[in-house]
Amino acid sequence: MSHEVVVIEGDGIGREVVPAAVEVLEALPVDFEFVEADAGDATKEATGEALPAETYDLAADADATLFGAAGETAADVILPLREAVDSFVNVRPARAYPGVDALRPETDVVFLRENTEGVYAGHEDRLSDDLSTLTRVVTSSASRELAEYACEFVADGRGPAGNPDEGFTVAHKANVMRETDGLFREEVLAVAEERGVDADEELMDAFATKLPLDPTQYGVIVCPNLAGDVLSDLAAGLVGGLGLLPSANVGHDNALFEPVHGTAPDIAGEGVANPTAAILSAAMLLEYLGHVEEGQRVRDAVEGVLSDGPRTGDLSGSATTDEVTAAIVDRL
Ligand X SMILES: CC(C)[C@H](C(=O)O)[C@@H](O)C(=O)O
Residues noted as catalytic:
120, 173, 205, 229, 233
CA nearest to 146, candidates 250, 226, 247, 246: 250
Could you give the dihedral angle defined by the CA atoms of residues 183, 164, 243 and 49, in that order, rounded to the nearest 10 degrees?
A: -20
- Taking a C-beta distance cutoff of 8 angstroms, is the pair 195, 141 a contact? no
* Options 133-141, 193-201, 276-284, 292-300: segment touching a second copy (CB under 8 A): 133-141
Could you give the dihedral angle defined by the CA atoms of residues 85, 230, 268 and 308, in that order, rounded to the nearest 10 degrees?
A: -100
How many angstroms separate the CA atoms of 177 and 228, rounded?
A: 16
Q: Which does 323 bind (CB under 5 to 8 A by kind): ligand X, a second copy, none?
A: none
| Three-state secondary-structure class, residue 214 | coil
| Binding of ligand X by 292 (CB under 6 A) | no
| Binding of a second copy by 206 (CB under 8 A) | yes
Indicate the pairing of strand 246-251 with strand 255-259.
Answer: antiparallel
| Binding of a second copy by 47 (CB under 8 A) | no
How many angstroms separate the CA atoms of 213 and 274, rounded?
A: 28
| Binding of ligand X by 78 (CB under 6 A) | yes
Q: Which of 27, 35, 74, 137 binds ligand X (CB under 6 A)?
A: 74
HSE on the CB side for 166, CA within 13 Å?
Answer: 9
Rounded to the nearest whole angstrom, what is the least distance from the CB of residue 96 to a second copy in the complex? 12
Please compute Rg for the chain using Cα positions.
19
Rounded to the nearest whole angstrom, what is the least distance from the CB of residue 175 to a second copy in the complex? 5
| Binding of ligand X by 202 (CB under 6 A) | no
Interface characters, 203-242, with ligand X (x: CB under 6 A): --x-----------------------x-------------
Residues 99-118 contacting a second copy, CB under 8 A: 103-104
* 52-56 long-range contacts, CB within 8 A, separation 24+: 55/6, 55/8, 55/81, 56/80, 56/81, 56/84
Residues 172-191 contacting ligand X, CB under 6 A: 175-176
| Binding of a second copy by 296 (CB under 8 A) | no
Q: Which residues bind ligand X (CB under 6 A)?
A: 74-75, 78-79, 175-176, 205, 229
Q: Which residues bind a second copy (CB under 8 A)?
A: 74-75, 79, 103-104, 119-120, 122, 124-126, 129-141, 173, 175-180, 182-183, 204-206, 208-213, 226, 229-231, 233-234, 236-238, 240-242
